[in-house]
Amino acid sequence: MRLADRGGTTTIVTTNFDLLLEAAARKIGVRTQTYSLGGIPRPTHRNDFSGILHIHGALEMHKDRHSELVLSDRDFGEYYLRRRVVPDFIYDAARLFHLVLVGYSANDPPMRYLLNAVAADGSRFSDLRERFTFFGTSTSDSVALEDWKARGITPIHYNAHGNHAALLATLERWATLSAINGNPKRMDAEIRRIVKTKRSAAGETDRDLFDHLIRRSNASERTRLSRLASDSGADLDWLNAIVSVGAERQHTRKH
């Protein structure tokens, strides 16, 4: 839920019926709305595209009320083919956002075909964003990795040992270092640590993290981080990288 903060609004998509994300939002003090199936707002960069979005339906909090859920083949036909609720949502979202799948195998045939259709769009539409999935296995599985790639999705492989402990640690660190709502002290400490080494001698992980923190920051935060890097003795290559990332943002806005 911390990672779902887009800066001013929180948006996350799930195929689960349970309300565990809602419980997590309350736990960290995030106010958000729940939407499901036909009630889900159309994807947009505006802040009104927000909430916990259950594309296969959500259980009603009141057990005496009926819940519309995508469970059977008929349900898939209704919401994927007849009403096109899910396909239209995914097609739009894939053009506006980088999609990251977490804990999802896409084994149900309609979703599998849908992801394949999105991948096919990549050869026709230049605005299609890259898609990723966190893919955990306890042993090497090159076939499954190639299967994800064939669907146009980049697999981020990790060792699933210890009940997916590596995934949890990664998501926690990602949230902590989020430029939107991460821990400022931790972010500042990382900047100071990274620039102690010349950029040409720094590892790829540190270069990527530095660029990510700059890229995901707004203008005022980017200025603050630039000053912090300079005051920490950053060499010219680190400062040039900040300029290059800023130029990226300008190029994106023009297009």
Please report how many Cα atoms fall inside a 13 Å half-sphere around the Cα of residue 219, on the Cβ side: 3
Which residue is it, tokens 């419980």? 23
Integer Cα distance of 140 and 73 in angstroms = 33
Using CA atoms, how far residue 227 sits from 74, 191, 222, 230, in Å, is 58, 11, 9, 5
* 250: confidence class by pLDDT, cuts 50, 70, 90: low
| Average pLDDT of the chain to the nearest whole number | 87
Closest CA to 6 of 178, 249, 176, 134: 178
* Each residue's pLDDT tens digit, 202-227: 999 999 999 988 887 778 888 888 99
Q: Which pLDDT score is estimated for 165? A: 94
* Each residue's pLDDT tens digit, 84-107: 888 999 999 999 999 999 987 767
Integer Cα distance of 176 and 182 in angstroms = 4
Higher local confidence (pLDDT), 47 or 61: 47
The mean pLDDT of 160-164, rounded to a whole number, is: 91
Whether the model pTM is above 0.85: no
